[in-house]
């Protein structure tokens, strides 16, 4: 969480100046962008595809909708939403990191997904879109990297249409102590080594493991969404709470 009293925040387990975190996170994702998809498959043993499929199933997206895939990275959700909303709808893939956007744009164009997708480099805390603009906003595995999460959630609420919904897919807290211990061992002993071998960058994956532990747990994030105005907020634990999908509405 950001400490507004002295303008510091966390970068993994480190305490840093709030205005430094954006550049530090950017450095991580510039480093991992090229191997991002490969590492996602290896780290999750492919299960991230099921988590994203569940997110799609919970989205309620229909033909003609406007979707914002925030922190959309290499475009997995964007690709699926593009097919659902069709020619009368649109999907905006937004990410603060230019390297991730470039990888995502190249991947989607290689798949022939071009007509209804736009790409925007944007900070989640200050979204450059009109009020009441999107039918759906998703942010998958990105909120934990945001410096001021409350500000970002408020920004998402502003650009969402009345009747629209926000879906936050993010690593969370396992719901059993036994699973938590196994997950900790994997995250801090295996994951950085995988990052070093596959992406030649163990430090970035050490940060990613730490950032997961510093992210608000399920109930805390639910409360944060409610505080900025979202209603009927609920969450679903996936894979024993290793990941949670939060859903909230703007009425």
Q: What is the pLDDT of residue 201?
A: 82
Task: Tell whether the model's pLDDT for residue 232 goes beyond 80.
Answer: yes
Any binding-site annotation on 123?
yes
What superfamily in CATH does domain 18-174+208-250 come from? Vaccinia Virus protein VP39 (3.40.50.150)
Share of the chain above pLDDT 70, in %: 98
Task: Tell whether the model's pLDDT for residue 217 goes beyond 60.
Answer: yes
* Residue 4's pLDDT band (cuts 50, 70, 90): low
Q: What is the mean pLDDT of residues 178-185?
A: 94
Q: What is the pLDDT of residue 31?
A: 78
Any binding-site annotation on 220?
no
Least confident of 180-184, 223-227, 228-232: 180-184
Any binding-site annotation on 124?
yes
Q: Please name every residue paired with 184 in a beta bridge, in sequence order, or none if there are none.
A: none
Query: Cα separation of 75 and 158, whole Å?
Result: 23
Q: What is the mean pLDDT of residues 102-118?
A: 94
Share of the chain above pLDDT 90, in %: 72
For residue 134, give Cα distances in angstroms to 77, 127, 166, 240. 16, 12, 10, 31
The vertex-76 CA angle with 80 and 216, nearest 5°, equals 115
Any binding-site annotation on 95?
yes
3-class state of residue 139 by DSSP:
strand
Least confident of 7-21, 82-96, 215-229: 7-21
The pLDDT tens digits for 145-166 are 999 999 999 999 999 999 999 9
What is this structure's pTM? 0.90
What mean pLDDT value characterizes the chain? Answer: 92
Would you say 103 and 127 are in contact if contact means Cβ atoms under 8 Å apart?
no
CA neighbor of 108 nearest in space, from 140, 41, 100: 100
Q: What is the mean pLDDT of residues 211-220?
A: 94
The pLDDT tens digits for 37-65 are 887 888 898 999 999 999 999 999 999 99
* Residue 13's pLDDT band (cuts 50, 70, 90): confident
Query: Cα separation of 6 and 99, whole Å?
Result: 31
3-class state of residue 52 by DSSP:
helix
């Amino acid at each position: 969480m950001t400490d507004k009293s002295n303008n510091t925040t966390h970068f993994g387990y480190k305490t840093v100046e709030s205005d430094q975190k954006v550049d530090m996170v950017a450095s991580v994702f510039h480093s991992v962008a090229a191997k991002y998809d490969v590492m996602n498959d290896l780290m999750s043993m492919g299960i991230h595809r099921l988590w994203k499929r569940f997110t799609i199933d919970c989205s309620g997206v229909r033909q003609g909708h406007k979707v914002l895939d925030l922190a959309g990275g290499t475009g997995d959700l964007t690709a699926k939403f593009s097919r659902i909303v069709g020619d009368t709808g649109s999907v905006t893939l937004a990410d603060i990191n230019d390297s991730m956007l470039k990888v995502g744009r190249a991947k989607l164009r290689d798949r022939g997904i071009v007509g209804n997708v736009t790409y925007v480099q944007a900070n989640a805390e200050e979204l450059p879109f009109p009020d009441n603009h999107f039918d759906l906003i998703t942010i998958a595995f990105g909120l934990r990297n945001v410096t001021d999460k409350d500000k970002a959630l408020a920004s998402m609420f502003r650009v969402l249409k009345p009747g629209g919904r926000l879906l936050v897919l993010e690593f969370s807290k396992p719901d059993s102590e036994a699973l938590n211990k196994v997950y900790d061992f994997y995250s801090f002993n295996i994951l950085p080594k995988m990052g070093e071998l596959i992406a030649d960058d163990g430090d970035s994956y050490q940060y990613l493991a730490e950032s997961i532990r510093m992210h608000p747990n399920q109930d805390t994030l639910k409360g944060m969404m409610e505080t900025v105005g979202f209603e009927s907020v609920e969450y679903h634990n996936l894979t024993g709470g290793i990941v949670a999908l939060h859903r909230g509405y703007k009425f």
